[in-house]
Structure 1
Amino acid sequence: MSSKELPPSTTPFFPNQFITNQFYSKAQHVSEDTDLSGKVAIVTGANTGLGLECANQLLSYKLSQLIIAVRSLRKGEDAAIRLRKQYTNAKIEVWLLDMSSYDSIQAFASQIEGKLSRLDIAILNAGISNSTFRLASTGHEETMQVNFLSTMLLSILLLPPLKRKSPTGSPGRLTIVTSMLSLTAKFAQKDKIPLLEAFDDEKTFDGVDIYPTSKYLGLIFLWKLTDLVSADDVVVNCVEPGFVKGTSLQREAPAAIRFMLYLLKVTTARSMKLGATTYLDAAITKGKESHGCILMNWGIAPYPPLLYTVEGENIKERLWQETLEELRFVNVNGILESLIK
């Protein structure tokens, strides 16, 4: 049963769902005989944290070519050097990708078209969490820009090459990293018209809620996006890695929150290695049944309860139309129409 078909969860997130996630979930590791020879994968934000560990695990299954997509080429090369020493048979490249810049995302997509004859897997791991208000070069609040608008743009631009450059009978895989914190999102702007513009107002900026809400919006958009994409062409899913120690996502959070998170990580957090297995499970192990699904604790989970309601349907449509309008400069409607043909 898909995420859209599951009944919405009524379990309170904290502490009930959180405790289940961290202590009572059974890990599902990729089969030891998995062989990724000949395959090409992209991992964004792969110079550190979960992205780097994901890259390492992909390479351990004989991945032939890896694209590390990062905003700092120097940091990306530092990571690549370490990986090349360990995996001498793999081709490991570092490509520039600044998720706060539409120009950079388009240039990255052009590289894929021009340089790759094959593409099997794309794992969109890059994300930020700003506790203070900052505008990106696009004029939008930066966390919303990177985690939602830019991630959705890159997702759409990746769909055609994943469809065309993956072998017949083996659909491309697009896995987008989400967060269980989306379940805690206040989403105070949900009734605003226009919706996206409401996040660009510094006076109403919420440094605690912006990250969960940015991930929440990604789930709303992907509900509709995956209705237009055939799982025979590209399997698109979202993965929630759980609460993981060793990441630097909350480095800008206020000191009190960082201290609280430190205590939680010491007592409850998954290891980086275990967290990254959720990425591989979503992108390799799970099949077409995971298309359009949220994967949490190595299993298929429901969408947030709001999305099953009449109000949620209205929000889905408004967000969909506003996002397509925002991204019209790359002819997203034409790209989506081409996938249906």
Structure 2
Amino acid sequence: MHVSVWDFIKSQLRKPKPVVEADLTGKTVVVLGANTGLGFEATKHFARMNPGRLILACRSEQKGRAAIDRLQAATGYAGAELWIVDLAEFASVKQFAAKFAQDGGRLDILVENAAIAPEKYEPTNDGWDAALQVNCLSTPLLGLLLLPSMIKTAQEHSVSPRLVVVSSSMHYWVDIEKKVSENPGILHTLGSAEYCATKAYETRYQLTKLLNVFFVRALNARLPPTTPVIVDAVCPGYCYSELRRSMSGLRALIDYLMERAFAFTTEEGSRQLVWAALAHEDHPETIRGGYVSCSNVTEVSDYVLSAEGARAEDHIWDEMVDILGKVDPRVTTIVDEYLVPRA
């Protein structure tokens, strides 16, 4: 599928559908990046559906506590829990997953919303470009580490848990250069200081959203059809967001004018996250492995669907599993135990 600038503008001018609602009694919902923006607005929607547990996964203790207070004031829901996780640190992700495994609770919905969009290369303490680690390595790491809890929930409660990864329509406008995609170490190349010093970094955020789509499709392709866990990617649309707060100069001015012209409110954008987590409850296979946009399952980019994109997706999956398996051996065990080779 090809999306032009005009297609993008038309999609922004559509009136968003009302938020999908469901009874979440007894169910556990986890939202990453829940203290602000899309994550917080989605959390408010979930809170109004009476979840058994609602976990706000946030990087900052102070901001997380403030979010819980605002959530209770806005919805009356008093059972929200704050769990700390910093996706810029693999150790923090591992600790979060270990805590959840020890907690022993069910996991019905995991919304992986946290992302960053820096304008320049910023290495993490783990030695990766921050945008690549947060958006494309820690996000899959946490999803894979929590997969056994979702599968256990499905088996014990006869439900179809969902893993929702927030992507973007910006994935339509980027691909991976052949000189990179033909390299056996695609992620290592993309994360290197040398590569990040080139003009290619100007599209780093778009690229990370493409990699999110690849992850969802690759994971779904390796989940046995009998496994009732639904994995999907979702585009919230172009919304008012703190994600672009680091912009400056002309880019900031253009973004400001675009927001005033046709951006969705943050709450309107959050409805897409909720739709991806709850829609088609009676027929969840409808949404399995899908890319959600405008409250519908939509075709991904031509590049993703191409033979070149498919090869890149498979190579990136293999490299990612190798990288994350070294970060936490549980990843290798989970892949071997719960997933199957791509058909």
TM-score (ref. length: structure 1)? 0.90
TM superposition shift of 1:200 = 2.8
The DSSP-based 3-state class of the residue aligned with 1:113 is helix
5+ residue gaps, structure 2: none
Equivalent residues of 1:130, 1:207 under 8 A apart:
no
1:104-158 C-alpha deviation (Å, 9 max, x unpaired): 1110001111124222111010000010111112111110110001111111112
CA distance in 2 between counterparts of 1:52 and 1:211 reads 21
Equivalent residues of 2:71, 2:77 under 8 A apart:
no
Of 36, 51, 63 in structure 1, the residue corresponding to residue 39 of structure 2 is: 51
Matches within 5 A, 1:161-240: 161-166=149-154, 167-188=156-177, 189-205=180-196, 206-229=200-223, 230=225, 232-240=227-235
CA distance in 1 between counterparts of 2:264 and 2:76 reads 29
Letter in 2 for 1:176: V
Of 318, 322, 341 in structure 2, the residue corresponding to residue 321 of structure 1 is: 318
- 1:335 matched to which residue of 2? 334
5+ residue gaps, structure 1: 1-8
CA distance in 1 between counterparts of 2:271 and 2:226 reads 22
1:61-109 C-alpha deviation (Å, 9 max, x unpaired): 1223111101111100110122234445542111110001111111000
1:34-86 C-alpha deviation (Å, 9 max, x unpaired): 32111111000000111000000101112231111011111001101222344
CA distance in 2 between counterparts of 1:131 and 1:11 reads 24
Q: Identity of counterpart residues, as a percentage? A: 26
CA distance in 2 between counterparts of 1:112 and 1:275 reads 28
Matches within 5 A, 1:1-341: 9-12=1-4, 14=5, 16-24=6-14, 27-31=17-21, 34-88=22-76, 90-166=78-154, 167-188=156-177, 189-205=180-196, 206-229=200-223, 230=225, 232-245=227-240, 247-286=241-280, 287-329=284-326, 330-331=328-329, 332-340=331-339
Q: In terms of mean alpha carbon deviation, does 282-291 or 50-59 score higher?
A: 282-291
TM superposition shift of 1:313 = 2.5
Letter in 1 for 2:195: T
Evaluate the alpha carbon distance shift between residue 89 and residue 270 of structure 1 in structure 2; reply closer, same or farther with a 3 A threshold: closer
Aligned residues: 328
Q: In terms of mean alpha carbon deviation, does 90-99 or 44-53 score higher?
A: 90-99
Letter in 1 for 2:229: V
1:219-270 C-alpha deviation (Å, 9 max, x unpaired): 123212111224742111011000001x111111232111101100111001
TM superposition shift of 1:29 = 2.8
Equivalent residues of 1:65, 1:90 under 8 A apart:
no
The DSSP-based 3-state class of the residue aligned with 2:148 is helix
CA distance in 2 between counterparts of 1:70 and 1:26 reads 27
Higher helix share: 2
CA distance in 2 between counterparts of 1:169 and 1:117 reads 15
Evaluate the alpha carbon distance shift between residue 337 and residue 204 of structure 1 in structure 2; reply closer, same or farther with a 3 A threshold: closer
* Aligned alpha-carbon RMSD (Å): 1.9
CA distance in 2 between counterparts of 1:89 and 1:297 reads 28
Evaluate the alpha carbon distance shift between residue 186 and residue 317 of structure 1 in structure 2; reply closer, same or farther with a 3 A threshold: closer
TM superposition shift of 1:317 = 2.1
CA distance in 1 between counterparts of 2:184 and 2:339 reads 30
The DSSP-based 3-state class of the residue aligned with 2:29 is strand
TM-score (ref. length: structure 2)? 0.90
CA distance in 2 between counterparts of 1:58 and 1:170 reads 17
The DSSP-based 3-state class of the residue aligned with 1:123 is strand
Equivalent residues of 2:165, 2:216 under 8 A apart:
no
TM superposition shift of 1:308 = 2.4
Evaluate the alpha carbon distance shift between residue 152 and residue 231 of structure 1 in structure 2; reply closer, same or farther with a 3 A threshold: farther
Letter in 2 for 1:145: Q
Q: In terms of mean alpha carbon deviation, does 196-205 or 292-301 score higher?
A: 196-205
TM superposition shift of 1:303 = 2.0
